[in-house]
Amino acid sequence: MPTKTPILQVAALSKSFGGVLAVNNCNLSIREGTITGLIGPNGAGKTTLFNLITGAEKPTAGRILFHGRRIDGLPPHRVFHEGIVRTFQIPRELKTMTLLENLMLVPANQVGERIWNPLLFSGRVSRQERLHFDKAMEVLEFVELSHLRDEFASNLSGGQKKLLELARTLMCDPKLILLDEPGAGVNRVLMQKLVGKIEVLCQELGITIFLIEHDMDLVTRLCNPVIVMSEGRYLAEGTPDEVKKDQRVLDAYLGGQYR
């Protein structure tokens, strides 16, 4: 259930690339237990904001707090261990690895990741492999890809790759999932499924979701609140309906077609 507590706070965050201020003194916060949407015109700095939160880019200035602790400047794998996982706008599946291995890679601190364990204690490694296998199968069933478990990820369709990205985030127990355009390139039927999956994650598993999306239908059905960014700044926030009616938002982004 949504609470008043912010799980993620972004304070005076800036990021410049050369002369371009991709994120410009941005302030926003995400409340725990919500599905928060992030919209804005192209070049508003949405994906850069995701990159900053997940450590893929280092901020030029400002702070990012997760559960009140600073995470800005941490490398991506450390941010992951804090409990934040992300998906990519263009899926980054591990192409010539099977779906199962794409997923079994994810769980943190595996016994078998320390090189001496497979050499000396293969029994322990195997036992944990079985656990991760079962977990991966469960997740694949959740996203309805279990029939493709032994296929290479490169053989999936665009929409299925999106589902695999989502599945990857479920292999650890995240507190916050950042979804970068989960609906892009996904057909309507699959999209319905995706919306359902995301709702289950939030409502039944209590995971906070922060997602970038251009598809206003999806945003309207799924997100509350919606945050609007424009030119690297926080512009507005509200329910989907409020945001759609907000004159500043219309000027910046919607071009009046929802009036």
Tokens 């039927």 — which residue?
189
Q: Rounded distance, CA 158 to CA 190, Å?
A: 11
The answer to whether 255 contacts other proteins (rule: CB under 8 A) is no
The answer to whether 155 contacts other proteins (rule: CB under 8 A) is no
Q: Where are the alpha helices (DSSP H) in the chain?
A: 46-53, 76-82, 99-104, 116-120, 122-142, 158-169, 188-205, 216-222, 240-245, 247-249
Q: Which is nearer to other proteins, 23 or 85 (CB)?
A: 85
243, amino acid identity: V
Mapping DSSP to helix (H, G, I), strand (E, B) and coil, where does residue 178 land? strand
Q: Which is nearer to other proteins, 24 or 87 (CB)?
A: 87
The answer to whether 54 contacts other proteins (rule: CB under 8 A) is yes
Q: Which is nearer to other proteins, 101 or 231 (CB)?
A: 101
Residue of the chain from 58, 70, 81, 248 that contacts other proteins (CB under 8 A): 81
Mapping DSSP to helix (H, G, I), strand (E, B) and coil, where does residue 152 land? strand
The answer to whether 11 contacts other proteins (rule: CB under 8 A) is no
Contact positions toward other proteins, by CB under 8 A? Answer: 54, 56, 75-77, 80-81, 85-86, 88, 92-98, 100-101, 104-106, 108, 110-115, 117-119, 122, 125-126, 128-130, 133, 141-142, 146, 150, 168, 171-172, 200
